[in-house]
């Protein structure tokens, strides 16, 4: 059962829990401030531009750097308005509850692109701000430091005896169901006094959909454009068939909120690519096409999404999801769910179903 705070996040339903991890750089991170850190979107003239030559909202906010996405030259961005089709609670209840529970360890994929780690750090800071009493640490599966095993070993040495490990992934593919559980299995065997619970991945969630909607609004898509606009839901991609299926399911659900059409696309491992999806929407009669990256942070794969959008002549390219406050709230929602599940099922934290390898 999703937390009440999550259900308040948007009027857009999420798909059933399953799906793709976000492999490679840019898949599982988040943006610095409210976006990704320091990348340049298609059609923008400088980092953080909302339109070509004009500072965007990310650049105007108190953030370490601007985001990856920016619209192609097009309509004037809508400012000061809520996300299209979404009712957003800016500081949901899940983020404000005090906590002195297990340490939260946020595990991102990692990337050689420095923007990735910068955005993960920005999201971690937002989580800490929402729940100051909770200790929050960050680790990476690859490319960046600290690694998961190294961080958990250090925490154990410092006297920590219970952690909730949260994969910073949008869907449940191999990173969440195989890679991370394998690392945690080794840690449990080596450090039996450390109770380790693996929390669920972030998506699907209405909070993610609300953030996507706001990114499109910031990129210049007005409420009145909805019925004539086709949207490409562009994810990182995965070789896991379940991952591909869940992205397709999210696209179908999103289409029901009034868009002309919504098509999934993938930056790697599966067709169609972003450019092909843009062309398909044009062929179906969409007057305008917007590309919405369903990725958390800038990096190699989001850059590939942007390149596909440019190649096919999309009208709008939104920014990545970034370190939005709603994502910080969602992280805490998943943390709370993991703790409740352990207590409800009568298992000590770290040894219940969410501590199992299929969490």
Inform me whether the pLDDT recorded for 62 exceeds 70.
Answer: no
Burial label for 107, CB within 10 Å (0-12, 13-18, 19+), is: buried
Inform me whether the pLDDT recorded for 52 exceeds 70.
Answer: no
pLDDT band of residue 253 (cuts 50, 70, 90) is very high
pLDDT band of residue 174 (cuts 50, 70, 90) is confident
Q: What is the mean pLDDT of residues 175-189?
A: 91
pLDDT band of residue 111 (cuts 50, 70, 90) is very high
Q: What is the mean pLDDT of residues 201-211?
A: 97
Inform me whether the pLDDT recorded for 147 exceeds 80.
Answer: yes
Helices (H), the chain: 4-7, 57-60, 114-130, 148-157, 174, 180-190, 206-218, 241-255, 274-283, 300-312, 325-344
Q: What is the mean pLDDT of residues 230-240?
A: 93
138 vs 25: CA distance, rounded Å: 16
246 vs 169: CA distance, rounded Å: 13
pLDDT band of residue 171 (cuts 50, 70, 90) is confident
pLDDT band of residue 99 (cuts 50, 70, 90) is low
314 vs 71: CA distance, rounded Å: 9
Q: What is the mean pLDDT of residues 154-179?
A: 91
pLDDT band of residue 178 (cuts 50, 70, 90) is confident
Inform me whether the pLDDT recorded for 100 exceeds 60.
Answer: yes
In this structure, the chain runs to a length of: 359
Inform me whether the pLDDT recorded for 29 exceeds 90.
Answer: no
Inform me whether the pLDDT recorded for 38 exceeds 70.
Answer: no
Percent of the chain scoring above 90 in pLDDT? 61
132 three-state secondary structure: coil
> What DSSP line would sit under 172-232, residue for residue?
-SHIIIIIHHHHHHHHHHH-TTSEEEEPPPS-S-HHHHHHHHHHHHHTT--GGGGGGEEEE
Helices (H), 68-179: 114-130, 148-157, 174
Strand order in the sheet with 229-235: 261-266, 229-235, 288-294, 316-317
Higher pLDDT, 72 or 119: 119
Q: What is the mean pLDDT of residues 188-212?
A: 97
292 three-state secondary structure: strand
DSSP conformational letter for 36 = -
Q: What is the mean pLDDT of residues 28-43?
A: 39
Task: Report, in angstroms and rounded to the nearest whole number, the Rg of the chain calculated over CA atoms.
Answer: 19
152 three-state secondary structure: helix
Higher pLDDT, 107 or 78: 107
Q: What is the mean pLDDT of residues 100-125?
A: 95
The count of C-alpha atoms lying within 13 angstroms of the C-alpha of 45, restricted to the half-sphere facing its C-beta, is 6
The count of C-alpha atoms lying within 13 angstroms of the C-alpha of 25, restricted to the half-sphere facing its C-beta, is 23
Cβ proximity of 246 and 176 under 8 Å: no
Burial label for 46, CB within 10 Å (0-12, 13-18, 19+), is: middle
Q: What is the mean pLDDT of residues 184-189?
A: 96
Nearest of 201, 197, 149 to residue 21 by alpha carbon = 201
Cβ proximity of 115 and 65 under 8 Å: yes
Inform me whether the pLDDT recorded for 74 exceeds 90.
Answer: no
- Angle, helices 206-218 vs 241-255, to 10°: value is 60
pLDDT band of residue 342 (cuts 50, 70, 90) is low
Percent of the chain scoring above 70 in pLDDT? 67
Inform me whether the pLDDT recorded for 240 exceeds 80.
Answer: yes
How does pLDDT run across 280-309, given as a tens digit for each residue? 999 999 999 999 999 999 999 999 999 999
Higher pLDDT, 130 or 49: 130
Average pLDDT of the chain, as a whole number = 77
Burial label for 188, CB within 10 Å (0-12, 13-18, 19+), is: middle
Distances in Å between the Cα of 83 and the Cα atoms of 44, 127, 190, 212, 221 are: 22, 22, 47, 8, 10
Q: Identify the pLDDT of residue 172.
A: 84
- Enumerate domains of the chain plus CATH numbers: 13-26+38-88+204-317 (3.40.50), 93-202+326-355 (3.40.50.1400)
Nearest of 166, 93, 81, 88 to residue 123 by alpha carbon = 166
Cβ proximity of 314 and 278 under 8 Å: yes
272 vs 266: CA distance, rounded Å: 6
């Amino acid at each position: 059962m999703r937390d009440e705070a999550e259900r308040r996040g948007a009027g857009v339903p999420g798909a059933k829990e399953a799906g793709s991890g976000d492999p490679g750089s840019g898949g599982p991170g988040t943006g610095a401030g409210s976006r990704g850190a320091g990348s340049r979107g298609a059609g923008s003239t400088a980092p953080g531009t909302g339109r070509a030559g004009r500072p965007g909202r990310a650049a105007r906010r108190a953030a370490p750097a601007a985001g990856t996405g920016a619209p192609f030259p097009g309509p004037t961005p809508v400012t000061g308005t809520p996300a299209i089709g979404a009712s957003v609670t800016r500081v949901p209840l899940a983020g404000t509850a005090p906590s002195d529970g297990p340490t939260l360890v946020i595990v991102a994929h990692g990337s050689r692109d420095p923007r990735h780690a910068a955005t993960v750090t920005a999201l971690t800071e937002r989580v800490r701000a929402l729940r100051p009493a909770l200790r929050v640490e960050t680790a990476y599966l690859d490319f960046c430091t600290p690694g998961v095993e190294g961080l958990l070993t250090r925490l154990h040495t410092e006297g920590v005896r219970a952690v909730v490990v949260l994969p910073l992934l949008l869907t449940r593919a191999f990173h969440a169901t195989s890679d991370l559980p394998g690392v945690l299995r080794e840690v449990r065997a080596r450090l039996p006094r450390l109770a380790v619970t693996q929390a669920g991945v972030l998506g699907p969630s209405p909070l993610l959909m609300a953030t996507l909607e706001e990114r499109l609004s910031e990129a210049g898509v007005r409420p009145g454009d909805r019925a004539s606009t086709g949207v490409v839901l562009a994810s990182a991609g995965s070789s896991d068939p379940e991952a591909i299926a869940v992205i397709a399911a999210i696209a179908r659900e999103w289409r029901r909120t009034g868009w002309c059409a919504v098509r999934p696309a993938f930056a790697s491992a599966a067709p169609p690519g972003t450019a092909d999806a843009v062309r398909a929407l044009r062929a179906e009669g969409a007057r305008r096409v917007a590309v919405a990256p369903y990725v958390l942070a800038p990096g190699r794969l989001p850059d590939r999404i942007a390149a596909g959008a440019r190649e096919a002549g999309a009208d709008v390219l939104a920014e990545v999801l970034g370190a939005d406050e709603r994502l910080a709230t969602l992280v805490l929602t998943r943390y709370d769910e993991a703790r409740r599940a352990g207590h409800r099922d009568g298992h000590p934290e770290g040894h219940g179903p969410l501590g199992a390898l299929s969490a």
